[in-house]
Structure formats: structure tokens, C-alpha cells
Chains A and B, each alone.
Chain A
Amino acid sequence: MPAVSKGDGMRGLAVFISDIRNCKSKEAEIKRINKELANIRSKFKGDKALDGYSKKKYVCKLLFIFLLGHDIDFGHMEAVNLLSSNKYTEKQIGYLFISVLVNSNSELIRLINNAIKNDLSSRNPTFMCLALHCIANVGSREMAEAFAGEIPRILVAGDTMDSVKQSAALCLLRLYKTSPDLVLMGEWTSRVVHLLNDQHMGVVTAAISLITCLSQKNPDEFKTCVSLAVSRLSRIVSSASTDLQDYTYYFVPAPWLSCKLLRLLQCYPPPEDGAVKGRLVECLETILNKAQEPPKSKKVQHSNAKNAILFEAISLIIHYDSEPNLLVRACNQLGQFLQHRETNLRYLALESMCTLASSEFSHEAVKTHIETVINALKTERDVSVRQRAADLLYAMCDRSNAKQIVAEMLSYLETADYSIREEMVLKVAILAEKYAVDYSWYVDTILNLIRIAGDYVSEEVWYRVIQIVINRDDVQGYAAKTVFEALQAPACHENMVKVGGYILGEFGNLIAGDPRSSPLVQFNLLHSKFHLCSVPTRALLLSAYIKFINLFPETKSTIQEVLRSDSQIRNSDVELQQRAVEYLKLSSIASTDVLATVLEEMPPFPERESSILAKLKKKKGPGAVSVNELEEGKREGGELNGGGERGGDSSAIASTPSPSADLLGLRAGPPVTAAAPSAGSLLVDVFSEAGVNDDGFLRFVCKNNGVLFENQLLQIGIKSEYRQNLGRMYLFYGNKTSVQFVTFTTTVTCPGELQSHILHIHTWNSLEPLIEGGAQVQQVINIECLTDFSDAPLLNIKFRYGGALQNLTLKLPVTINKFFQPTEMASHDFFQRWKQLSLPQQEAQKIFKANHAMDTEVLKAKLLGLGMALLENVDPNPENFVCAGVIQTKAQQVGSLLRLEGEGEKQVFSLPYYPQSFNRKNCTLAVSLEHSL
């Protein structure tokens, strides 16, 4: 096209842009810009009214300056003035400025909306389009409020120009995305759906995006679009390449519309109407056939457009997952692309095959490409393509090819890009666990993983291998032998030392018969790594040493000497020092029997979902899609983590892995009472769901607000309010550090029967996964008490702090007494009712010693905090307290009476507690009260 007009020659603007381009330095540029800004400001402020052209020019300059990355704080008003110009180009610049630089200055929004309203009703199609573009570009809530009602009318009106319809459709889509509540299609629904039949391809192309988005939210209302979309698609697919004139793109008829149609169909299941379905299958087959035809052009645009449709068709085939024939054809087609010379196609084929691998119909077909994919992993030059190959290998893995795939992934890890190592490590760990037929292979694989990519092996991975070794006695000897050998390496990764220390501490005896790995050799080997390790690992090693003393009495003196050395017993780290002191003491005063009990072998871990899997699930991407599949496979096949296999876990309650115990379970042993509370978070068993911290819980029996939990990292505050059987709890999570917490997630669970019918908990707002250092975020939980309950809901908090996973479970302080409604009653009434309640299940009595000397006022406050009415002058004995209240649950209301009798010097209380029907629950309440006194 010769000499097209290139704007209306804003000479001043061109000069200014040239000036900027000629600036030699950033400073010069800023100087020039400041000069220009001063000039424009003076023009805008000047007495002389500016003509439209000048105004346009200056607004355009401001826009240019803003787009260069500088702040603009004036000119908005002049831009708004341009909107009401009747010169198109002035209006256009005004709208552009508003679209790019809108701010929520309410006064301006009103003026802008006014101008838009005028243009929308101008019946001048070009003005209408400008106004619609502006709404679509800004898409603010204020605009939705002003125009969401008007635009559907414009969209479906018979006399609206096609170009305006196109803009209106997409404008509405944008408003729907920002404010779905304001965009109500209602009566227009069917007319909007019928835009799919419009003669103008452009209208269909624009409208279908709107219809797809609306269908996702309200599939039923829009389901008639399915048959319309199929017939439209069928007409396009079967048209000759020139039929559609300007909508043919490099010999491909309407590629954008075809993709959008196929995308719309993915919002629905396969059509039920046989004829529609037949027609659609025909279309899909035609698309697959065309892929085999020789290209009509050598241009990459031709093949891209054609393949865009092909990939979208394959997505639809995978979405339906019901036509084995099409699935296998799709897979073969992708197989061809795997070896295509276009990198883009190889990438997309790998990506698309990942989803095919999870279909039962095509899983086997995908597997036939394993060699090609492995080759891609080894030879692709682009890391993003290699990543796709690794994802696909993960997705196509099953029992038959697991060893090969895991081996390939391990060898790839040695050279893998740093950015994907952690994910690769997780994937290898999961595959190795899931498809382990013999556990020695599993142990080898994980140790290899640590050797090759130790830095990327997260805690979950090495915790998991220990968990599995503990639970499987057939692999323990092998594991001990293997870690012993691995530790021989002069430089081994700290994670290896952790696993080695733990396993030898537990099972070193299984290899101690061999003089090459005698107890002392084992100890010396471990201790040779000690000084190179970080504090948490050293702490773990110290625990391994005390386990050694129990396993091998002959090492006792050597180890005691180590513990006694200044570097241990006077270590500046309080945790290490404490361990050294306590272990030393334990080993010297406890009898062999006591030692054997305290330091007994760890009992099996309870079976639970692999936390590695949970971690990978959080990662997005096609590789994660198949995680669900994997889980299913696991339920059928693997029992790797068979917790119960070694028989009852009645063994030694004392060493059952307890909430905050470290992996070696030492702290649970009675003689070691005071392990440091700080205990390096590393050693908290991240697997343990039983790891409930209820220190804070009991304090909340008699109060509703306060700090539930606090450590060096995190503070959790609570504010709660209850009315009848409903409650609302505000949780405040405060980051006490200066570093952000990432992947911060909280889940509230109701264990056991609490979940099914006792307490209904609804989390109100979800949290951002990130808490900045020093920041606090809030979460609201709604609680409904359906019927009586005794357990408390659990709050689990997970986040990463400086790379380390923090996992914390707390009891939420929701106790039955929160639903008390105080009831006043006179002395006479009280004792009459008291006497009526004489059946054993109607009363509970508890005698306990108060934790503190009680002062009457404190006691009163606590009883009031319990939620009942404190009845004054009812009990003849002033030392006694009586209370009455009604517990409100959704199912019933239960009256309760309470009498607290003090004895002696208020040290001992007896607490007869008389609820009418709560039998075993009343004890809970009594116990709670006891603790809080």
C-alpha cells in the first residue's frame, strides 16, 4: 500500500520523540522530559484556550512520556476534554490516554463515563467502537456498573453494525471477567448464543469468546451452543481453502474461529444427540486426515495455523476421553511431531502427549514412544523442551518401564538445569516409591538421588526414605549396609549424613557383625562428618550417638568422651549443648533396662499420603496432571508404606513418634524431660498429622481472644465471637521475621466424627500464599455447632521459611462451652433442678488440685469466661460457686448446672458438673476447666 497516511502529522511530537532518541544518557533524557513537562504544564495552565489540535498533541506527548516509564500526574482533565471533541482523531487520542492512564479519581470517572455514554448513543459506529474499546481496555468496576446493562442490548440489536457488535461482545467479556455479578445475560442468552450463526465471520469470532467464558460459568443456560458450534465447525472444516476469502489465512480456512469453536466444545461433555456427535467426530477425523496431506504452502504460517487447529482438536479428543480410535490416532500424530524438525512442534507434542498418557485408551500407545522421549531428554538443546520430555516420562511411567525411566531421569539429573532439579528430584522419588518392587532398589535410588543432587533433595524426600526403611524390616539391613558404604565417600552430601546417621542409629546393629563395619568403625565414620555439618544435622548425629550407646555398649566410653568434650558440652548452640548434657547424663545414670526402653527402635510410622506427592501437586504444569493417576495406582498396587505390617504398634508407648518429638523419638522418653523447645524446626516430624500443639488451646477455654501460638517465626492470634450455636473466628497470622513466608497454606480439619456431623466449619476467605516479613494476614472461619462434640478441630499451617518447610498443627480452641447461653436462676430453682439430675449419665464429678492459689475474683472471671451465668447468693456456702447455662446446638439445647466447691486453702476443688444429657462430653469440659484453673 503506497504512502499511507501515518497520522496527522503532529510535528511537535515527532520532534520531541527525535530529541529523546538523541539523548546520550539517561540524565539527558530526564532533563529533556522535565523541560517538556514544564512546557506542557504551562500550556495547560495558560490563559489562552488551547485548540483541539494542540491539546491532542500535548496529551499525546504525555502519553509517550508515560510509556517511556515516567510518572504522569496531570493532563487527565485535558484528555477527558478531548473525549467530547467531534474530531475523530482528537477523540481517539483522548480515549487512548484514558485507557492507558486511567486512575480511579471518582470525579474523572464520572466525566469519562458521561463521554462514553454520549458516544454509545451517538449511533455513529466509529464513535461507538471507540467508546466500547475504552470500556474493554479499562474494564473497571465503575464502568461495569455504568454500562453492563446497556452493552448486551447493543450486542443483539438488529440494527447494530457488525463492527460494533464485535466490540460489544468482547467489551462485555472483559466486564464479565472483572464483575461477573454485574453482567446478567438473562433474556439475551439465546440471542447471544445465536450469534454463532451470524453471517459475518468477524462477529462469530468475537462473540464465541464471550460465549465460551459464559458457558464455563453457566453451562446449562448455554448448552444449545454445542450443536450450533458443531455445525459451524463442520462448515469451516469442509470448506475449500478459498471459500472464506479474507478469513482464510495462508490457505487455512478461519483458523482462529476453528480453534475457538473447538475450545468452546471443551466446556461440555460429548454431544448426546447422535447426529451432532457423528458430525463432530467427522470433523475431528477430517482435521486428523488433513494433517497427513501435503502442505499447501511452505510458509510456517500455513503449518502453524493448520497445526493450531490440530492441537485444539486433540485437546478436545482428550477432553472427551471416550473415542479410543481418535485417541490412538491423536497419539500417532503426536508421535510424528516428536521427531519433527520444528522445535515448537516437538515441544507441543511432548506437552500434549502428557495428557494422553493418563487416558486408559492411549496410555499404551504413548508408551511406545519411550525411546524417542528419552532421546529428547538427552539431546534437545532447549531446556524448556527437555522439561517437557521429563514431564512426559513421568506421566508415561508405570510398573513395566519404571526402572528404565528412573535410571534415565537420574542420569539426566547429573546435567540437568538448576531450575528444574528440585522438581526432577521429587519426580524420581515418587516414581521410585510408587513402582518399587524390591525395596533395595528404592533405597539405592534415593541414595543416588542424594549423591547426584543432594542440594535439591528436600526434607520430604529424605524423611520419606527413613519412614519407609523404618516401616519395612526386610530392607533395614540393606539400607544400613548401603548408607555405610555411601558414607565412605570423602565428600558426601549433608543429606546423606542425615539419612546415614538416622539409619545407623536405628539399624547399625544389623551390619555390626562384619568387622569392616564394627560399631566403632560406624561411629568413627559418622563422627568424621560431624564437624562439617550444620547444627540440625549435628543434633541428629548426637541422637544417633546415644542410640549407639544402647545398641553397642562397647562404644559407650568413646561416645561419652565425645559428649563430654568442650566442643559439645559447652557448645554455644543451646540445642547442641542441651543434647550433649542430657545424653551424657542419661548414659551415665540410667540402667541398661531404662536405656533400652528409652532408646528403643522407632515403631512404624502411621500410613499416610506421601508428603512428596503433596509437594509435587502444588507445582503446576502438565507433569502434575498425572499425579492423580499415580495416586490411584498407588492404592491398587503399592503398599510400600504399609504401616501396620510389623504387627501391633503396642510397642512402647513411650517412644511412639509423638507430636513434637524429633525423628529419633528421644524426647518422648521420660528421663529426657526437657529437650529444648526451640529444637531446630528441622527435627519436627513433618509427616506427623498427630503433631498437634495444644499448649495454647487450654488457655482459650475461658476466653475468646488472645495469642494461640507463638514461636520465633510466627505468631497466631485469635479473636472469636459466638452467638447461640454459631461462631466466627478471626485468625491473625503474623510473620515475626524479616523474610517472607512462601507457599503459606492453612487447612482446618475436623478429625473423626467431628467432621461428619458434629461441627460444621467453613473457612471464609482463602489466604494469599505469601506473607511478607513483618506482615500480618487475617483469615475468617465460620463455625456451626450441629450437636454436642468433644474433640477440637485442627488447624494445619504449612509454609516455607528460607527454604525450610514449616509444618504446624494446632487445636483450634472451639470447645462446647463456647456455645453456652448464660441462664439466671434463683437459689430455689437451682437446687430443685440440681436434685432432679441424679442419674449417673447426667452428672460428672471431678476432684482436682488447682494449679494456682485461687483468688475469688480470678475464679469468678474464669467461670464467667466459661460462658455460664455465675449465680451469686445461691449457694449457702460462700466458698462455693454455682453456675447455670444452656448449651445451644443446632440439634438441641441442653441446660447445664455447675458447682465448684473449694476446700482447704482453695487448693483443691471438687467440681460436680451436671449437664442433662452430655455424658462422656462433660468430662472433657471438666478436664478443660481443671486445666484452666
Chain B
Amino acid sequence: MQFMLLFSRQGKLRLQKWYVPLSDKEKKKITRELVQTVLARKPKMCSFLEWRDLKIVYKRYASLYFCCAIEDQDNELITLEIIHRYVELLDKYFGSVCELDIIFNFEKAYFILDEFLLGGEAQETSKKNVLKAIEQADLLQENNNTSCSMGLLLS
């Protein structure tokens, strides 16, 4: 995988993870272009598209689009399930995750992603193991939470 982007229906970037070295300028250009392309697609269209010499795999969960760029020989369907597993991880961690959780706890979203994917490859696909690693970090912390009122990603 070359990169993963999370953005809202309004085109606001919520998370970006780059697994190939690119300049900030290039990243911004790619993001702009892809957000536009993906948002322009209709709901029933297929989740894959060719873009430059990459394959884009995307899926929408509630108000958020999850979008991955993979290389020619990579498997589209398994990438779709990578996205789903990530959403499941977020959901399990935040408890019915919504876009606001990802905005206010963006650093957690990055930490979870790092436990799951590293260097663009699946590192640990077991939900239990990933969450175990994350929770270890939280053990020392006080509990504090904000309720969220937006549409849930997994419903």
C-alpha cells in the first residue's frame, strides 16, 4: 500500500498515512485530486479505480471515506477488508466510533493504524492483539470521555 486517506463527505481530510516518500506539495496535490475523484463517484459504483499507475480502493462508512492506494499486483478485495478491519478496530476502541472521535482523538487513530499496518503492510490482523497493544498505553490514564452524537460509522 502506498498511502491511506480518510476524508469526510465535505472533502475534509481526517487522517493521512503515507508509506512512500513524497514531498508535502505532492501529498497535497494527490489528496486534492483523489478527494475530488472519489467524491464525484456515485454510490453503487465499484470500489476500485485506476488512478495514475496505482489502484485506488475506497469505501464509505457513514460520513467518512476510507481510501487506499495500492500497487498493480496488490489485491483489491483484501485491501477493502483492511479498511473494514481498521474501522472495526476504531469502533471497538472508541465504542461505536463516529467521525468526531477521529477528529478529537486523531492521535489515537494514528496509533491504532500503526499497530495494524506498518510500512503499508498488515502487521497484525487479529483484532484482539491490536487492541491489547493500544490498551496497554491507556492503562495509566484517567478515564475521561466525551459523548458523541453523530452517525455511527458501523451501523
Partner of B126, one of A67, A202, A255: A202
Interface string of A119-151 (1 = CB under 8 A from B): 000000010010011001101100000000000
Task: Tell yes or no: B151 within 8 A of A by CB.
Answer: no
Give chain A interface residues in 824-879, CB to chain B under 8 Å.
Answer: none
Known: A89-B141, A621-B50. Contact between A343 and B45, CB under 8 A?
yes
Interface string of A14-39 (1 = CB under 8 A from B): 10010001000000000000000000
From B21, B46, B106, name the one whose CB has the most chain A CB atoms within 10 angstroms. B46
Task: Tell yes or no: B63 within 8 A of A by CB.
Answer: no
Partner of A304, one of B45, B77, B111, B124: B77
Task: Tell yes or no: A589 within 8 A of B by CB.
Answer: no
> What is the minimal beta-carbon distance from A125 to any residue of chain B, in angstroms?
9
Partner of A6, one of B50, B121, B126, B144: B144
Q: Which A residues are CB-close (under 8 A) to B42?
A: 381-382
Q: Which B residues are CB-close (under 8 A) to A129?
A: 133
Partner of B48, one of A93, A202, A348: A348
**B-binding segment of A170-178, A682-690, A791-799:** A170-178
Interface string of A379-393 (1 = CB under 8 A from B): 001101101000000
Known: A247-B125, A249-B85. Contact between A382 and B107, CB under 8 A?
no
Partner of A201, one of B105, B121, B126: B126
Give chain B interface residues in 63-84, CB to chain A under 8 Å.
Answer: 72-73, 75-78, 80-82, 84
Q: Which A residues are CB-close (under 8 A) to B49?
A: 384
Give chain A interface residues in 37-64, CB to chain B under 8 Å.
Answer: 60, 63-64
Interchain CB contact under 8 A, A96 and B107? yes
Interchain CB contact under 8 A, B106 and A67? yes
Interchain CB contact under 8 A, A3 and B95? yes
Give chain A interface residues in 97-134, CB to chain B under 8 Å.
Answer: 100, 126, 129, 132-133
Task: Tell yes or no: A256 within 8 A of B by CB.
Answer: yes
Interchain CB contact under 8 A, B144 and A5? yes
Task: Tell yes or no: A215 within 8 A of B by CB.
Answer: no
Chain B residue with Cβ nearest A2: B95
Interchain CB contact under 8 A, A206 and B138? no
Q: Which B residues are CB-close (under 8 A) to A209?
A: 119, 121-122
Task: Tell yes or no: A4 within 8 A of B by CB.
Answer: yes
Q: Which B residues are CB-close (under 8 A) to A69?
A: 13, 28
Interchain CB contact under 8 A, B13 and A344? no
Q: Which B residues are CB-close (under 8 A) to A246?
A: 126-129
**B-binding segment of A188-196, A306-314, A576-584:** A306-314
Q: What DSSP secondary structure best describes chain A's contact surface?
A: helix
CA distance A878 to B129 in the complex (A): 94
Task: Tell yes or no: A205 within 8 A of B by CB.
Answer: yes
Task: Tell yes or no: B60 within 8 A of A by CB.
Answer: no
Q: Which A residues are CB-close (under 8 A) to B36?
A: none
Interchain CB contact under 8 A, A7 and B108? yes
Task: Tell yes or no: A294 within 8 A of B by CB.
Answer: no
Q: Which B residues are CB-close (under 8 A) to A817?
A: none
Q: Which A residues are CB-close (under 8 A) to B120?
A: 174
Interchain CB contact under 8 A, B75 and A6? no
Interchain CB contact under 8 A, A93 and B107? yes
Interchain CB contact under 8 A, B138 and A5? yes
Known: A64-B106, A96-B111, A170-B119. Contact between A8 and B77, CB under 8 A?
no
Known: A5-B144, A247-B125, A304-B80. Contact between A21 and B48, CB under 8 A?
no
Interchain CB contact under 8 A, B107 and A60? yes
Interchain CB contact under 8 A, B95 and A1? yes
> What is the minimal beta-carbon distance from B93 to any residue of chain A, in angstroms?
6
From B44, B77, B141, name the one whose CB has the most chain A CB atoms within 10 angstroms. B77
Task: Tell yes or no: A617 within 8 A of B by CB.
Answer: no
Q: Which A residues are CB-close (under 8 A) to B50?
A: 384, 387, 621
> What is the minimal beta-carbon distance from A769 to any residue of chain B, in angstroms?
12
Interchain CB contact under 8 A, A136 and B118? yes
Interchain CB contact under 8 A, A259 and B75? yes
CA distance A17 to B46 in the complex (A): 35
Chain A residue with Cβ nearest B120: A174
Interchain CB contact under 8 A, B124 and A166? yes
Interchain CB contact under 8 A, B48 and A384? yes
CA distance A387 to B48 in the complex (A): 12
Interchain CB contact under 8 A, A249 and B118? no
Interchain CB contact under 8 A, B13 and A67? yes
CA distance A500 to B79 in the complex (A): 52
> What is the minimal beta-carbon distance from B153 to any residue of chain A, in angstroms?
14
> What is the minimal beta-carbon distance from A142 to any residue of chain B, in angstroms?
12
Interchain CB contact under 8 A, A163 and B81? no
Interchain CB contact under 8 A, B107 and A7? yes
Known: A6-B145, A384-B48, A620-B53. Contact between A249 and B140, CB under 8 A?
no
> What is the minimal beta-carbon distance from A455 to any residue of chain B, in angstroms?
22
Task: Tell yes or no: A507 within 8 A of B by CB.
Answer: no
Q: Which A residues are CB-close (under 8 A) to B118?
A: 132-133, 136, 166-167, 170-171, 174, 206
- Interface residues on chain A, number (Cβ under 8 Å): 77
Interchain CB contact under 8 A, B146 and A382? no
> What is the minimal beta-carbon distance from A243 to any residue of chain B, in angstroms?
14
Task: Tell yes or no: B26 within 8 A of A by CB.
Answer: no
Task: Tell yes or no: A74 within 8 A of B by CB.
Answer: no
Interface string of A611-626 (1 = CB under 8 A from B): 0000000001100000
Q: Which B residues are CB-close (under 8 A) to A504?
A: none
CA distance A252 to B127 in the complex (A): 15
CA distance A140 to B22 in the complex (A): 12
Q: Which A residues are CB-close (under 8 A) to B142?
A: 5, 8-9
Interchain CB contact under 8 A, A344 and B46? yes
Q: Which A residues are CB-close (under 8 A) to B85?
A: 249
Known: A14-B146, A384-B45. Contact between A6 and B124, CB under 8 A?
no
Partner of A206, one of B46, B111, B124: B124
Partner of A88, one of B104, B114, B137: B137
Q: Which B residues are CB-close (under 8 A) to A201?
A: 125-126
Interchain CB contact under 8 A, B137 and A92? yes
> What is the minimal beta-carbon distance from B14 to any residue of chain A, in angstroms?
9
> What is the minimal beta-carbon distance from B18 to any residue of chain A, in angstroms?
9
Interchain CB contact under 8 A, B80 and A17? no
Known: A255-B78, A311-B75. Contact between A136 and B119, CB under 8 A?
yes
Task: Tell yes or no: A462 within 8 A of B by CB.
Answer: no
Task: Tell yes or no: A305 within 8 A of B by CB.
Answer: yes
> What is the minimal beta-carbon distance from A797 to any residue of chain B, in angstroms?
23
Partner of B81, one of A170, A301, A620: A301
Chain A residue with Cβ nearest B119: A174
Q: Which B residues are CB-close (under 8 A) to A315?
A: 73
Task: Tell yes or no: A331 within 8 A of B by CB.
Answer: no
Partner of B78, one of A67, A133, A305, A384: A305
Chain B residue with Cβ nearest A17: B104
Q: Which B residues are CB-close (under 8 A) to A719?
A: none
CA distance A257 to B47 in the complex (A): 22
Chain A residue with Cβ nearest B28: A69
Interchain CB contact under 8 A, A137 and B114? yes
> What is the minimal beta-carbon distance from B74 to any residue of chain A, in angstroms?
8
Q: Which B residues are CB-close (under 8 A) to A17?
A: 103-104
> What is the minimal beta-carbon distance from A120 to any residue of chain B, in angstroms?
15
CA distance A396 to B80 in the complex (A): 29
Interchain CB contact under 8 A, A304 and B81? yes
Partner of B103, one of A21, A126, A301, A381: A21
CA distance A227 to B92 in the complex (A): 38
Task: Tell yes or no: A347 within 8 A of B by CB.
Answer: yes
> What is the minimal beta-carbon distance from B103 to any residue of chain A, in angstroms?
6
Partner of B77, one of A4, A89, A344: A344
Interchain CB contact under 8 A, B48 and A347? yes
Interchain CB contact under 8 A, A6 and B94? yes
Given A3-B145, A7-B141, A304-B80, 12 new contacts (CB under 8 A) = A1-B95, A6-B108, A14-B104, A92-B137, A126-B137, A129-B133, A132-B118, A206-B123, A259-B75, A259-B78, A308-B77, A344-B76
Interface CB pairs A-B, < 8 A, 20: A4-B93, A4-B94, A6-B94, A14-B146, A163-B129, A167-B118, A170-B121, A174-B120, A201-B126, A205-B122, A249-B81, A304-B78, A304-B80, A305-B78, A308-B81, A312-B78, A344-B77, A382-B46, A384-B45, A384-B50
